[in-house]
Amino acid sequence: MGTSGEPAQRDVVLSLVGKHAKVQKSGMILPRNLPERSWEQIGVNLCELTNSSAWWLGDWLIYGETTYGWRRYREAIERTGLDYQTLRNYAWVARRFEHHRRWDNLSFAHHAEVTRLSPPEQDYWLRKAEQQKWSRNELRRAVRASLAEQSHKTDIPSSGDDEKREAPQLAESTGTDKRQRKDTTLTIELSAGQLDYYSKVAAAHGLPVDEWVTQVLDAAEQRPTA
């Protein structure tokens, strides 16, 4: 585990690439008879640079919003000419991992896979991914399998507890209008500013934004009507 986003790392990576190829803004010129080992190392160095740049852009965006406010932050995104949603995703992930919680041996994509988990769960899965040398896809499969197993255990009542489990469910679903509770999917359209604001509020409660919204809606449902 360690910090990312240091300018010196960028210079080192570019200098390593520059030993074997000519790097310019619009491309790279590789020499003839380049050893295969050198070609492979260039790819590794470029991947490291790409991974770091995601963290750098995320931190840059967060700084802009914190220091200059939302409007200037949005202007900065527009002026880069980069994809808006991609940059927002960079900031989303960077905001959920303080520098000391970022794993240098894992990619930005690894961290993105666990952003919706609680910080202790994030640390657990990232540590395991580093120990097991998992790819991003392997980490994704492991996390999804674990969540599916937890959901399955929650859905299956233990023997002899059926009546105890049914009682609170009936109490929750019994209202003056005898409505039955049903699970459904609610889609809410938010501006980027609204999403960021609600994300901060949710983070203050130690929750992902979707779980926080669910709690707010549940609380509103339970309030007595006038």
User: What residues does each domain of the chain span?
Assistant: 1-98
Residue 103, pLDDT above cutoff 90: yes
Secondary structure letter of residue 101 according to DSSP: G
Q: Is the dihedral of CA 162, 168, 171, 172 positive or negative?
A: negative
Within 10 angstroms of residue 119's Cβ, the number of other Cβ atoms is: 13
Please compute Rg for the chain using Cα positions. 24
Cβ burial of 52 (10 Å; 0-12, 13-18, 19+) is buried
Label residue 8 left, alpha or beta by phi (over 0 means left) and psi (-120 to 50 means alpha).
alpha
> Which of residues 112 and 22 earns the better pLDDT score?
112
Model pTM? 0.57
Cβ burial of 96 (10 Å; 0-12, 13-18, 19+) is buried
Extract the tokens encoding 154: 């929650």
Residue 8, pLDDT above cutoff 80: no
Secondary structure letter of residue 21 according to DSSP: S
What's the mean pLDDT in 47-60?
Answer: 87
Name the pLDDT band for 131 (thresholds 50, 70, 90): very high
User: Residue ranges of the alpha helices (H) in the chain?
Assistant: 7-18, 36-68, 70-80, 84-95, 108-113, 119-132, 136-155, 162-173, 192-204, 209-222
pLDDT digits (tens, 9 = 90+) for 74-98: 787 788 888 888 888 999 999 999 9
Q: What is the pLDDT of residue 136?
A: 93
